[in-house]
Amino acid sequence: MRQQIAAANWKMNLTLAEGQQLLQDILSKSPELSSHQQVVFAVPFPYLAMAQEAIQGKAGVAIAAQNCYSKKSGAYTGEVSVPMLQSLGIGYVVLGHSERREYFQESNQFLAEKINISLEYGLKPIFCCGEPLAIREANNQNAFVGQQLQESLYHLSATQLQQIVIAYEPIWAIGTGKTATSEQAQEMHAFIRSQLSAQYGEAVAANITILYGGSVKGANASELFSQPDVDGGLVGGASLIVEDFLAIIKALK
């Protein structure tokens, strides 16, 4: 079975003490994970070392950075490099989140550079893609997401691609309370997998983990994750609520 992931994206939330407490509460109550299941916490940069220490000895749990820069080092005040993340033992990095694309104007080409350097240093990118409401209403979501995949991922070899986790996030369902139906989620996840299959072959595409990200909650996780091409979730607000995120972990296939 493909790796199934419950990824918590804390975004710009919580003080250090609150983050420590949240991690402790979730880790102390988390169910035992199967070998194909993983929990990932994408925490703000100042908390990476704390979080990495907190998960020591916890099987199936990893820490992600919420972003990185495209250069190894240099005069880029305020940025964080992949070698810095690697030196902390961080396993994943979230790239291309809709908020980074919208607020910071990150392009598909810029994200390709970030993906390259992340892979170079052994970090697994969680690559986000997805369409805004206007694109969905015009029924152009497949072409839009297909272009995101092509411009950011298709320069990779098949071996490199298999180090990528993809997160489909319908932008119109992030923080709005709206959620794509399980059928809509499955339809887009199947489309993404079909595009990867056309580019890299069915065997490669069948092994790529594709997460759903868009108002995932404890109440809807089981239905979403039951879809054949949905391999878990990239979770925002609900990941800050202990019982909600525990329910999401338990909903993994």
DSSP 11: -
- Active-site position among 99, 106, 131, 169: 169
- Active-site position among 97, 99, 131, 189: 97
- 162 sits in which H/E element: none
Ranges of beta strands (E only) in the chain are 4-9, 37-43, 61-65, 92-95, 124-129, 165-168, 210-212, 232-235
Q: Are 9 and 41 in contact (CB under 8 A)?
A: no
CA distance 132 to 22: 31
Instruction: Provide the residue type at 48 as one letter.
Output: L
The answer to whether residue 202 is catalytic is no
DSSP β-bridge partners for residue 159 = none
CA distance 146 to 148: 5
Backbone angles phi, psi at 35, to 5 degrees: -65, -25
SS3 label, residue 239: helix
The answer to whether residue 189 is catalytic is no
Query: So which residues are the catalytic ones?
Result: 97, 169
